[in-house]
């Protein structure tokens, strides 16, 4: 957990997102696995998701989202002194996706690193960057969530393949007077249940072998029902923690931007926080679950539509593999 003890504030001054052109609908999946549009919509709320082309990697999507966020903030790549990327689907184990991005953005004076916190990657990355900007260790930070989940999705497993999509979202973070911008943050983890969501092979425990490829161990495995039960509870816990710390109630919120994993999880959180449909930003129907990219994509889309107004209190909240969960509360 990070206490907000910085000597100055940090605020989001720009946002952008990118999703690939290729769209897979539920009807496309009816041709691939034994499923139906009706099952997918009822159980998850997803109607379509975007898929990266064969020659598109995470850093390519991250670059597009970054250019859009930098333009929005009026900041040059060369102005950046920090780049933090949340991802579990980097271009390669190393160099980090953040380092690849640093070069393409011409950010010669920037430190750059990735954060692996699964679906909580963006919230963790934003919290780390906020801490550094508040502490005076960074002046202009670029924070991203990016995923090419379709590369680690098993298209023979109907329980997972219908859920995931690709994309990237980015924000620029700059200093502001203390008390403005980001008001509160929360991060938690529980590593005792890795089997709920994991990628078995490809690391030092189980290097890739022909046998592991044949066993489909290079693809995501998920126990959806186990995660489902925890997700609502953890996301409500994270939300209430940051609200309490800020002496606020959920009734003080203008908008909630939840991780887009399942519409039923989103509705559960909405109900427990006593929010209306209009207060909750939802795009899972068009994006599917893009893991660490889901919150910055949803934020970037809503910002571009002009939904938010100055002074709005916005809460981003997430839950994902690890297990990890967290929240960021800020004034727009
Ligand atoms: N089409 C048709 N039937 C299916 C499909 C499908 N695509 N997938 C599973 N089924 C079947 C199952 O085989 C099962 O059949 P059975 O009863 O004959 O065994 C039945 O549907 C019910 O399966 P469940 O897994 O119990 O379905 P559930 O209602 O739990 O929905 C889902 C599955 C959508 C994955 C849900 O559990 C979920 O969203 N879980 C949360 C995931 C989550 O929180 N992720 C967030 C963190 S992780 C991240 O975001 C990357």
Distance 109 CA to ligand 1 centre (A): 45
Q: Is the C-beta atom of 159 inside 6 A of ligand 1?
A: yes
Residue 2 has pLDDT above 50, yes or no: no
Find where tokens 């139906």 sit: 36
Give the residue with greater pLDDT, 66 vs 6.
Answer: 66
When the pLDDT of each residue in the chain is averaged and rounded to a whole number, the result is: 96
Distance 195 CA to ligand 1 centre (A): 15
Q: Is the C-beta atom of 225 inside 6 A of ligand 1?
A: yes
Active-site pick, 26, 99, 116, 119: 119
Beta bridge pairs of residue 328: 185, 316
Atom of ligand 1 nearest to the CA of 220: 51
DSSP state of 74: T
Q: Shortest CA distance to 147 belongs to which of 125, 164, 162, 166?
A: 166
pLDDT at 105: 98
Q: Is the C-beta atom of 193 inside 6 A of ligand 1?
A: no
pLDDT at 6: 58
Q: Is the C-beta atom of 56 inside 6 A of ligand 1?
A: no
Distance 225 CA to ligand 1 centre (A): 7
Tell me how far apart the alpha carbons of residues 111 and 99 are, in angstroms, rounded to a whole number. 8
Q: Is the C-beta atom of 228 inside 6 A of ligand 1?
A: yes
* Residue 1's pLDDT band (cuts 50, 70, 90): very low
Tell me how far apart the alpha carbons of residues 254 and 248 are, in angstroms, rounded to a whole number. 12
pLDDT at 5: 53
Residue 63 has pLDDT above 50, yes or no: yes
Residue 4 has pLDDT above 60, yes or no: no
* Residue 7's pLDDT band (cuts 50, 70, 90): confident
Show Cβ contacts of residue 237 under 8 Å, excluding neighbours closer than 6 positions.
188, 325
Q: What percent of the chain has pLDDT over 70?
A: 98
Active site residue 259: yes
Q: Is the C-beta atom of 162 inside 6 A of ligand 1?
A: yes
CA–CA–CA angle 149, 154, 158 (5° rounding)? 110
Could you give the domains of the chain?
Answer: 9-179 (3.40.47.10), 183-331 (3.40.47.10)
Phi, psi of 190, rounded to the nearest 5 degrees: -150, 100
Residue 56 in contact with residue 50, Cβ under 8 Å? no
Show Cβ contacts of residue 264 under 8 Å, excluding neighbours closer than 6 positions.
43, 44, 45, 228
- Cα 291 to the center of its chain, rounded Å: 5
Tell me how far apart the alpha carbons of residues 122 and 115 are, in angstroms, rounded to a whole number. 8
Find the mean pLDDT for residues 238-257.
97
Helical (H) or strand (E) element with 78:
none
Tell me how far apart the alpha carbons of residues 142 and 56 are, in angstroms, rounded to a whole number. 21
**164-211 confidence digits (pLDDT tens):** 999 999 999 999 999 899 999 999 999 999 999 999 999 999 999 999
Per DSSP, the three-state class of 96 is coil
* CB contact burial 303-312 (16+ within 10 A = b; e otherwise): beeeeeeeee
Q: Shortest CA distance to 218 belongs to which of 167, 151, 273?
A: 151
Residue 255 has pLDDT above 90, yes or no: yes
Tell me how far apart the alpha carbons of residues 171 and 162 are, in angstroms, rounded to a whole number. 28
Q: Whose CA is nearest to atom 30 of ligand 1?
A: 225
* β-strands 111-115, 82-86 pairing: parallel
Find the mean pLDDT for residues 255-261.
98
Distance 278 CA to ligand 1 centre (A): 27
**124-152 confidence digits (pLDDT tens):** 999 999 999 999 999 999 999 999 999 99
Q: Percent helix, strand, coil in the chain (nearest 5)?
A: 40, 25, 35
First-last CA distance in the chain? 23
Tell me how far apart the alpha carbons of residues 155 and 268 are, in angstroms, rounded to a whole number. 29
Secondary structure (DSSP) of 172-204:
EEEEE-TTSBEEEEEEEE-TT-GGGEE--SSSS
Residue 166 in contact with residue 65, Cβ under 8 Å? no
Tell me how far apart the alpha carbons of residues 135 and 315 are, in angstroms, rounded to a whole number. 22
């Amino acid at each position: 957990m990070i206490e907000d003890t910085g000597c100055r504030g940090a605020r989001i001054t720009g946002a952008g997102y990118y999703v690939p052109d290729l769209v897979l609908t539920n009807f496309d999946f009816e041709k691939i696995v034994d499923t139906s549009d009706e099952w997918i919509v009822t159980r998850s709320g997803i109607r379509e998701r975007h898929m990266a082309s064969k020659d598109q990697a995470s850093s390519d999507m991250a670059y597009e989202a970054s250019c859009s966020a930098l333009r929005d903030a009026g900041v040059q790549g060369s102005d950046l002194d920090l780049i933090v990327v949340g991802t579990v689907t980097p271009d390669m184990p190393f160099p980090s996706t953040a380092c690849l991005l640093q070069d393409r953005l011409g950010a010669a004076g920037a430190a750059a690193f990735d954060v692996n916190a699964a679906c909580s990657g963006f919230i963790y990355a934003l919290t780390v960057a906020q801490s550094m900007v508040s502490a005076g260790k960074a002046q202009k930070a670029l924070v991203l969530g990016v995923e090419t989940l379709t590369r680690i999705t098993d298209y023979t497993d109907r329980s997972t393949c219908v859920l995931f999509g690709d994309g990237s979202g980015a924000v620029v973070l700059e200093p502001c007077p203390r008390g403005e911008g980001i008001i509160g943050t929360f991060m938690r983890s529980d590593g005792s249940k890795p089997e709920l969501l994991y990628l078995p092979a490809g690391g030092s425990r189980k290097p890739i072998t022909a046998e592991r490829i044949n066993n489909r161990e290079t693809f995501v495995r998920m126990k959806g029902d186990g995660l489902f039960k925890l997700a609502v509870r953890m996301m409500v816990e994270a939300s209430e923690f940051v609200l309490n710390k800020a002496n606020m109630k959920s009734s003080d919120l203008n908008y909630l931007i939840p991780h887009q994993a399942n519409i039923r999880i989103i509705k559960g959180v909405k109900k427990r926080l006593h929010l209306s449909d209009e207060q909750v930003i939802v795009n899972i129907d068009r994006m599917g679950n893009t893991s660490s990219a889901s919150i910055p994509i949803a934020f970037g889309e809503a910002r571009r539509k002009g939904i938010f107004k100055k002074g709005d209190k916005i809460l981003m909240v997430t839950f994902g593999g690890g297990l990890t969960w967290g929240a960021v509360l800020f004034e727009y």
